[in-house]
Amino acid sequence: MKRRTAILSLGGFVASAGAAMGTGAFTSVEADRQVDIDVRDDTEAYLALQPVDANGDPIDDPENGSRTPLAQDDPFALVNEDTGRLDLNVTALNVDAVTTIPNLFQVSNLGRNEVDIHFEKSFEGDGDGNPDAVSFYRGQDDPETDAPLDDENNGITLEDGNSFVVDLVATTDGVTPGEGIIDTLTIVGVDVNRGDNA
């Protein structure tokens, strides 16, 4: 409600600025207007990211995290209580193996427009890491026939109000224990009408 008020008053400012330009010269005007920016936790953002349970349903207490395997200290996914951001942990992969972690987290479009979504993965630590060892898929997709979300040629369109769960597939052939794999995941959503130049 407050947000709508702020935008309406800004709209009024456009009109009055236009009028001022036409009728007289002025050197400068400085007009302060209120802009409300309300940063939300990942679970409530326009592009919402939520930990889910083994069935792919959002969990009640995201800060407490989703399921934790015995091999790990931390849950697969949780919302960091300090930053409000989703953290992911898959820290006990077998060597020389293909591991699938289904239902890692959920992406929801809580905005009001249709967006194209793709993922970008990278390793920012020392060395090159092994970003190719990890891929992310929509839960309903088949890794054998469908392209991963992190394939730059693959974007999926998500209508407002819709969501999908994300599976992780790791292939650790040729990766040495102790080598980094990835440490950063960027989720990109762009309005479908904007093209792919964002």
Residue numbers at the binding site for another protein (CB under 8 A): 3-4, 7, 10-11, 13-14, 17, 28-31, 33, 35, 42, 45-47, 49, 54, 67-71, 74, 76, 85-97, 99, 111-113, 115, 121, 133-134, 168, 170, 172, 175-191, 194, 198
State the minimum distance, in angstroms, from the CB of residue 17 to another protein.
7
Q: How far apart are CA 164 and CA 57, in angstroms?
A: 10
State the minimum distance, in angstroms, from the CB of residue 38 to another protein.
12
Q: Which is nearer to another protein, 67 or 143 (CB)?
A: 67
**65 close to 53: Cβ distance less than 8 angstroms:** no
State the minimum distance, in angstroms, from the CB of residue 54 to another protein.
6
**38 close to 3: Cβ distance less than 8 angstroms:** yes
Q: Which is nearer to another protein, 149 or 175 (CB)?
A: 175
| Closest to 58 measured CA to CA, from 110, 107, 100, 101 | 107
| Closest to 131 measured CA to CA, from 172, 83, 92 | 172
State the minimum distance, in angstroms, from the CB of residue 194 to another protein.
6
State the minimum distance, in angstroms, from the CB of residue 102 to another protein.
8
The widest CA-to-CA distance across the chain, in whole angstroms, is 74
Q: How far apart are CA 136 and CA 99, in angstroms?
A: 12
